[in-house]
Structure 1
Amino acid sequence: MSLTGTPFFLTSIALLIVAVVLPLALWSRIAGPRLVRGLARLTMLLFAQVTAITLVFVLVNNANNLYDTWDDLLGTGSHVEAARDLGPDGMGGKQIKDEPKQLQSFRPADDPVVGSGVQMTDLKGRISGVSGEVYVWLPPQYNDPAYKDKKFPVVELLPGYPGSSKSWLGSLKAGEQLRPLMQSGQIKPFILVAPRTNVLSGVDTGCVNIPGKVNADSWLTVDVRKMVIDNFRAGDKPDSWGLAGYSAGAHCATKLALSHPDRYRAAVAMSGYNDPAIEPDSLAGKDPKLRIESNPLHILKSANAAGKPPRTALYVSGAAGDGYQAGIGLQQLAKKPTTVSVRMLTGLGGHTTAVWKNQVPEVFRWLGRQLTAGGQAMQ
């Protein structure tokens, strides 16, 4: 049975009801020696405790989309088939233009929490050696005959850690919030792409490439990106691509956008950080060299020192001590054409999905001013 979804939720409720009714019905009816009666009653109490804790976990997990599968929860699964050294550009000596198209079969999303119209596919990354599910949400204009020859800008959505690929479409209700705003013309239409980021058991990859362990950067910036371009009317230029993340996903969005201005033009970071070691389970944070190299501050400093500040637009939001200072640090380093907009959050409830959910319309309005489709602004 799936860890998420209605069946497991209803099963948890049923077990809790049984756990409450059993002691009420049988407590005084248990026969046998005192020790046997005591053990039977203790077992019923423990069963009630376990089922109560299980139901609370299910409610929290479903609300925040933390773990998709039992393997994710128990740390027994891996989505890494190979992790060869792909070099500084994450391509392993290959060129995207030379790679054959990777056409995929899509099916309706397997969990209603993501809302209507979401499709998914199981992608095997040819470059990265990573495999995982990818969810795709198409804007209402996509199937409109008036747009049949139009390409659309794309935003990759990255969750925190632990986090499910469904979180933006599920907990943050991104598609549900954006659909009417796109239909009314208040927000430009985007293709939303939500790939799996929890690809290695029990650790946060920090969205980096580590030869012999994982190529998380190439999974997101090469394989997923190419698959979307191959299968949908998506723009293929950097001006058509952005990233958006919260918490650990915010760190990834900023790091990837600054590292690959040839692939992305903009990134949104909500309640993120620059130093990957802030996340205790971060692979990048535990490696002294990677900790420096994957810090967005270092990436920006190095680009500036080389006389090549990236043409990247960043939107950073957060409360004091929870993302705001990270944004100010980047803003102070930014040199044209790099731009950094920072918003300080006050009194909005801390490091929670409710805070990030409320920002969805605002950040997509900002993205609409940064990204274009097929080299021209989408109307």
Structure 2
Amino acid sequence: MGLTSNKVLALVVMLAVLLFIGTVWWWPRLARRTWWSVGGRVGLLLATQVMLFASVGLGVNQAFGFYASWADLLGREQGEGVVVDHNGAGGPGGGPLQVVDTESVIVSGGARPGTGGQIQKIDIVGRTTRIATPAYVYLPPEYFQPRYRTRTFPAVTVLTGYPGTARALIKGLHFPQTANRLVREGRSQPMILVMLRPTVAPPRDTECVDVPGGPQTESFFAKDLPEAVSDHYRVGKSPRNWGVIGDSTGGYCALKLAVHHPGTYGAGAGLSPYYKAPTDRTTGDLFHGDKLLRASADLRWYLRNRPAPDTSLLVTSSKAGESNYKATLDFIDLVKSKGLTRISSIILDSGGHNFNTWRREIPATLQWISGRLSDH
């Protein structure tokens, strides 16, 4: 059974309850001062505490999508996926994107694609980077309706934090459900969402950097991913057709992609982002002595030292609960001084670095990015 399985969570909760009952039942019999009795008490308390912590940990992981599997949790997930050469043209018959499963969207009428839209699980292999990764694609109801059969749709790349799971964007942050509701309310145009995590070389956190001699993560998101999606789905290929949203690490990546690649992404939104790629035990050596690459990974340095990109940016923070509040205000002031780059913000009075905060920001973020993208 997988780490995110409801059966695993139910089993661990049941064991915790049984151990608690067993502790209450056996405690009087273990009240003596013999080594056997003391060891029994210690063992029962320890086992009960372990199961309680495991129950809480599994529940939190299911809610926030930190780890996708046992191997991911233990740091043993090493493979980047099996690289399959797809030499034919993109599309259902071949190419770098393959649909492996479909599911309904949890909305009213969601069983019918023409009413609720559809979520497709896909596998992508980058044509140039050879990076292989799974993702989910939300197709709005209009994509399946006859009157829109010749229409192209704007697309938004949606990125999790690190480690994160793409599934959490659906189950925890409710991106498809929110996008569906906003269109029904007339607050957004129909958009295709491409949902995945920025960790394309697990367990390494590459911070959307083209690592010298390593994963070319930035190029994958800036070139391979939009090309594969546009070849397979009815999506345009100009920057007015593409936006990017992310939270935490994904928020930094979203801003970076919009700033570094305005020819690909016409808008980028960072929910609780930071503005400079860190270097720690999860990232390893990202730059290998390349000073320009390191400097470019600092968005503030990039905006001060490079021509202003023609793109729109959105940043979010909160006055209480977020550590990036001052950095975000400074970033807003910096971008405002760059005439060609446009900046917007969502600043909450309070809100931590968590799913609950981001769920409060996602509706306005989707509405904002919808207003900056075009379907033609």
- Band the TM-score falls in, shorter-chain normalisation: 0.7 to 0.9
Among 338, 341, 346, which residue is 2:344 paired with? 341
Three-state SS of the structure 1 residue aligned to 2:268 is strand
2:329 aligned residue: 325
2:191 aligned residue: 190
- Are the equivalent residues in 1 in contact too, given 2:105–2:119 (CA < 8 A)? no
2:65 aligned residue: 65
Offset at 1:32? 11
- Are the equivalent residues in 1 in contact too, given 2:161–2:197 (CA < 8 A)? no
Alignment size in residue pairs:
352
Residue 339 of structure 2 aligns with an amino acid whose one-letter code is K
CA deviations on 1:324-343 (whole Å, 9 max, x unpaired) are: 2253244244222x211233
- Give, in whole Å, the separation in 2 of the partners of 1:110 and 1:219: 28
- Give, in whole Å, the separation in 1 of the partners of 2:172 and 2:261: 28
Q: Compare relative contact order (CA 8 Å, sep 6+) and give the higher one, 1 or 2.
A: 1
CA deviations on 1:10-42 (whole Å, 9 max, x unpaired) are: 122112122212223334457999323332332
Three-state SS of the structure 2 residue aligned to 1:245 is strand
Deviates more, 1:180-189 or 1:359-368: 180-189
- Equivalences for residues 97-108 of structure 1 within 5 A: 101-108=95-102
- Equivalences for residues 212-291 of structure 1 within 5 A: 212-277=213-278, 281-283=282-284, 289=291, 290-291=293-294
Residue 350 of structure 1 aligns with an amino acid whose one-letter code is G
Percent sequence identity over aligned pairs = 29
1:88 aligned residue: none
- Give, in whole Å, the separation in 2 of the partners of 1:102 and 1:285: 26
Three-state SS of the structure 1 residue aligned to 2:170 is coil
- Are the equivalent residues in 2 in contact too, given 1:327–1:340 (CA < 8 A)? no
Q: Give TM-score, length-normalised by structure 1.
A: 0.83
Offset at 1:271? 1.4
User: Structure 1 residues 220, 71: CA separation in 2 closer, same or farther (over 3 Å shift)?
Assistant: farther
Q: Give TM-score, length-normalised by structure 2.
A: 0.84
Three-state SS of the structure 1 residue aligned to 2:71 is helix
2:114 aligned residue: none
CA deviations on 1:280-301 (whole Å, 9 max, x unpaired) are: 7445778673431111222323
Among 338, 346, 354, which residue is 1:352 paired with? 354
- Give, in whole Å, the separation in 2 of the partners of 1:279 and 1:171: 27
User: Structure 1 residues 257, 44: CA separation in 2 closer, same or farther (over 3 Å shift)?
Assistant: same
- Give, in whole Å, the separation in 2 of the partners of 1:101 and 1:220: 17
- Give, in whole Å, the separation in 2 of the partners of 1:350 and 1:261: 30
CA deviations on 1:151-194 (whole Å, 9 max, x unpaired) are: 11011111122211123222211211221221342211110111
Three-state SS of the structure 2 residue aligned to 1:122 is strand
- Give, in whole Å, the separation in 2 of the partners of 1:329 and 1:200: 34
- Are the equivalent residues in 1 in contact too, given 2:252–2:274 (CA < 8 A)? yes
Residue 175 of structure 1 aligns with an amino acid whose one-letter code is P
- Give, in whole Å, the separation in 1 of the partners of 2:97 and 2:355: 34
Unaligned runs of 5+ residues in structure 1 are: 84-95
- Are the equivalent residues in 2 in contact too, given 1:284–1:294 (CA < 8 A)? no
- Give, in whole Å, the separation in 2 of the partners of 1:312 and 1:250: 16
Three-state SS of the structure 1 residue aligned to 2:224 is helix
Deviates more, 1:179-188 or 1:258-267: 179-188
User: Structure 1 residues 233, 291: CA separation in 2 closer, same or farther (over 3 Å shift)?
Assistant: same
- Are the equivalent residues in 1 in contact too, given 2:97–2:125 (CA < 8 A)? no
CA deviations on 1:299-340 (whole Å, 9 max, x unpaired) are: 323332xxxx3221111121355252253244244222x211
Deviates more, 1:160-169 or 1:319-328: 319-328
Three-state SS of the structure 2 residue aligned to 1:137 is strand
- Are the equivalent residues in 2 in contact too, given 1:150–1:233 (CA < 8 A)? yes
Three-state SS of the structure 2 residue aligned to 1:164 is coil
- Give, in whole Å, the separation in 1 of the partners of 2:264 and 2:138: 20
Three-state SS of the structure 2 residue aligned to 1:214 is coil
- Are the equivalent residues in 2 in contact too, given 1:80–1:129 (CA < 8 A)? no
Residue 276 of structure 2 aligns with an amino acid whose one-letter code is D
- Are the equivalent residues in 2 in contact too, given 1:331–1:341 (CA < 8 A)? no
Unaligned runs of 5+ residues in structure 2 are: 84-88, 112-117
Offset at 1:358? 0.9
Offset at 1:346? 1.6
Offset at 1:224? 2.3
- Give, in whole Å, the separation in 1 of the partners of 2:235 and 2:50: 48
1:148 aligned residue: 149
